[in-house]
Structure 1
Amino acid sequence: MKDVAARAGVGLKTVSRVVNSESGVTPDTERRVREAIESLGFRRNDSARVLRKGRTASVGLVLEDLADPFYGPLSRAVEEVARAHGALLINGSSAEDPDREQELALALCARRVDGLIVIPAGHDHRYLEPEIKAGIATVFVDRPAGRIDADAVLSDSFGGARAGVAHLIAHGHRRIGFIGDLPRIHTAVERLRGYRAAMADAGLEVADPWVSLGPTGPDRVRPAVAGMLSGPEPVTALLTGNNRVTVTAVRVLAEHHHPVALVGFDDIELADLLGITVIAQDAATLGRTAAERLFRRLDGADDAPARVTLETVLIPRGSGEIRPPA
């Protein structure tokens, strides 16, 4: 750093300001410092910076599944906000396993990340209380924390599902099935609640065979869809609880001999070309909002934890507008 200062003809504090993207440096001075940095191959000593400031300029992101297309835009948005704050993002997948979520979150804390953004797999996050008290800012996204009071940024799963079912009812459907995720997952519960609320609003009974919750793999979803389409009172429409369920449902419906209406929760790739009506979440805004809240905490905000709920959008494309057989 001294060599950079000497080459640029400035003081050490000026070099520090340029390296850390701080204000108070003229454009001409910044240019000379950056030219000196490039010529000398200078690299910031992050270990020394940690000792001096007590922060690592890194944050952790615990996702459900890095391979899930829904989490791509969310992760990218978090990374962009982190980068704007000069921080590195480290992420990993819990694979919807509460034990793995805890292991991963605590491993990130042990590596002294400044903050955590968590998409929870479990229902008890008291294991993070010592870390939060020690100063690790924590924000939950997509689902709220369990048994602790913490910031959360969520989509309106209840309202979105309610709107999707109301849309199907408005197009003449009375026998509507719901296929969702595992019943221990907050979003699955909220979407089922929205489905039931819309049916109740219309004075419609829900038959037990019309509801199926469980793993989202094809091995479970395919027979669930097939079962709802058969029997003495087959459904004429489906609300699918997430993108993975929707993909399998589309495959099954393509093989069915009668048209069946479909509204899927989450947008999916090629849905616009395939004409699939969806309830779209803004995954990027979820991630950005959570990350901005995290860095607000890291900058010293100490107001009470809050829950932010983002609206969903119903996008009609054709599949949700199919009318039932006469």
Structure 2
Amino acid sequence: MRDVAARAQVSAMTVSRVLKNDTRVGAAARAKVLAAVDELGYRRNEVARSLRLGKPSGMIGLVVTNLANPFYSRLALGAEQVAEEHGLRLVLGNTAEQVKREQELVEDLVSRQVDGMIVVPAGSSQRHLGAAVLGPTPVVLASRPPAGIEADAVLVDDFGGARAATAQLIADGHRCIGFVGNPPVLFTGAERFRGYWAAHEEAGIVPREKWVSRGAHDIPSAEAAARRLLDRPDAPTALFCTNNRMTLGAYRAVRGLGSGTSLAGFDDFDLADLLDVPVTIVAYDADEVGRRAARLLLDRIAKGSSAPQEPCRRTVVPTTVVRHTGT
């Protein structure tokens, strides 16, 4: 600001007033200051200013596990929509499902004085997200519930959606339904497997363990898992997959083997209706997950750390089953 003042031949106080749109500065002085700002490329340090004034930073953090997954990009858009409605900016970080990376990102966000954070946790414990570690910075979890801490959370109806999709396969006449899913340590994978199993039990069918694969983490590994299930004499006639990457990997296996196996999967994805095999999709509003998480976080921020602690809240985004008959 001193450089701008020297260039415009005014006082630093005048520069400050111009940048704050103070009406006490005359038009001529304002024009000189703004010209000097443009010539020098000056940008006010909003973080430093907020610290000096003791005001919030105007930023909230969002930490997700896999930005390549469309679910998380939609979640981010939903959270950003609510943040912008309240004049806030969203700062985004990706952990690649690594707990250490998550800890580093969270610590960095706290050091940058974010007003709060939405986190999709990578591990099975979130003690590093608790108040004992982060202090007054509020945290809301998305997609996975808290473990080891108390926190608000926004979840998807993983169990109900998986049960409904598997039940639809059974209603279509399938009795041999395989399962292609991510590792059981993940909450979403475990709940969706539980829904898959419950649908069988409700129909009086005992699913076979040899038709269950629970180790895939991306499209290639899901394709390999589906091939192993389908490339056998007693192959299942349908597969339930726990997310869109699993479904796409399974589809590649079905196409490659020419088996015509029916598919059901969690998470909608672009062009699902154009696949040439029947696909049953568990759909939900991923943007709404982000919107709800942002609203919960903003509510905690507004109340402040000095307010009496309320019980932690949990909200569940509903799912629907969408059927594509194949082209």
Asked whether the two chains share a fold, i.e. TM above 0.5, the reply is: yes
Q: Is the counterpart of residue 299 in structure 1 residue 269 in structure 2?
A: no
Counterpart residue number, 2:17: 2
Amino acid at match of 1:89: L
SS at match of 1:92: strand
1:199 aligns with 2:200: yes
Structure 1 residues 215, 99: closer, same or farther in 2, change over 3 A?
farther
Say if 1:162 and 1:194, in contact at 8 Å, map to a contact too.
yes
- The Cα of 1:219 is off from its aligned counterpart by 4.2
Task: Give the C-alpha shift of residue 293 in structure 1.
Answer: 0.7
Give the letter aligned to residue 282 of structure 2.
Answer: I
Kept in 2: contact 1:132–1:138 (CA 8 A): no
Cα offset, 1:249, TM superposition: 0.9
Distance 1:141 1:217 in 2: 21
Q: CA deviation at 1:290?
A: 0.2
Give 2:23's aligned amino acid. Answer: A
The one-letter amino acid of 2:75's match is L
The percent identity for this pair of structures is 39
In the TM superposition, 1:20-35 aligns within 5 A as none
User: What SS does the aligned partner of 1:188 have?
Assistant: helix
Note closer, same or farther for the CA distance 1:105–1:314 as it changes in structure 2 (3 Å cut).
Answer: same
Q: CA deviation at 1:44?
A: 6.2
Name the count of aligned residue pairs: 295
Partner secondary structure for residue 277 of structure 1: strand
Runs of 4+ in 1 over 6 A off after TM superposition: 37-44
1:57-72 to 2 correspondences below 5 Å: 57-72=58-73
Q: Runs of 5+ in structure 1 lacking a partner?
A: 10-34
Asked if the contact 1:161/1:195 (under 8 Å) is kept, the reply is yes
One-letter amino acid matched to 1:310: V
Structure 1: how far apart are the matches of 2:119 and 2:310?
A: 20
The amino acid across from 1:234 in the alignment is A
TM-score (norm 1): 0.83
Aligned to 2:289: 286
Offset, 1:206: 1.3
Structure 1 residue 234 corresponds to structure 2 residue 251: no
Structure 2 CA distance for aligned equivalents of residues 257 and 88 of structure 1: 49
How far off is 1:38 after superposition? 8.3
What SS does structure 2 have at the residue aligned with 1:278? strand
Structure 1's 8 and 267: CA in aligned 2 closer, same or farther, altered over 3 A? Answer: farther
Structure 1 residue 272: Cα displacement: 2.2
Query: 2:8 maps to what in 1?
Result: none
Q: Which amino acid aligns with 1:264?
A: G
- Quick one: distance in 1 between partners of 2:253 and 2:139? 41
- CA positional deviation for 1:7: 5.7
Mapping for residues 110-259 of structure 1, pairs under 5 Å: 110-130=111-131, 134-259=135-260
Question: 201-210 or 227-236: which moved more?
Answer: 227-236
CA contact (8 A) 2:128 2:134 kept: no
Letter paired with 2:17: K
Conservation of the 8 A alpha-carbon contact between 1:109 and 1:131: no
The normalised TM-score by structure 2 is 0.83
CA contact (8 A) 1:101 1:122 kept: no
Question: How far apart in 2 are the matches of 1:272 and 1:39?
Answer: 56
- Which sits farther off after the overlay, 62-71 or 49-58? 49-58
Amino acid at match of 1:312: T
Q: Cα RMSD between the aligned structures?
A: 2.5
* Amino acid corresponding to residue 295 of structure 1 in structure 2: L
1:308 lines up with 2:315 in the alignment: yes
Indicate the residue corresponding to 1:26 in structure 2.
none
* 5 and 219 in structure 1: CA distance in 2 versus 1, 3 angstrom threshold: closer
Deviations along 1:223-266, one digit per CA (max 9) or x if unpaired, are: 32122223342100111111111111111111233321111110
What amino acid sits opposite 1:146 in the alignment?
Answer: A
Query: Shift in Å at residue 163 of structure 1?
Result: 0.1
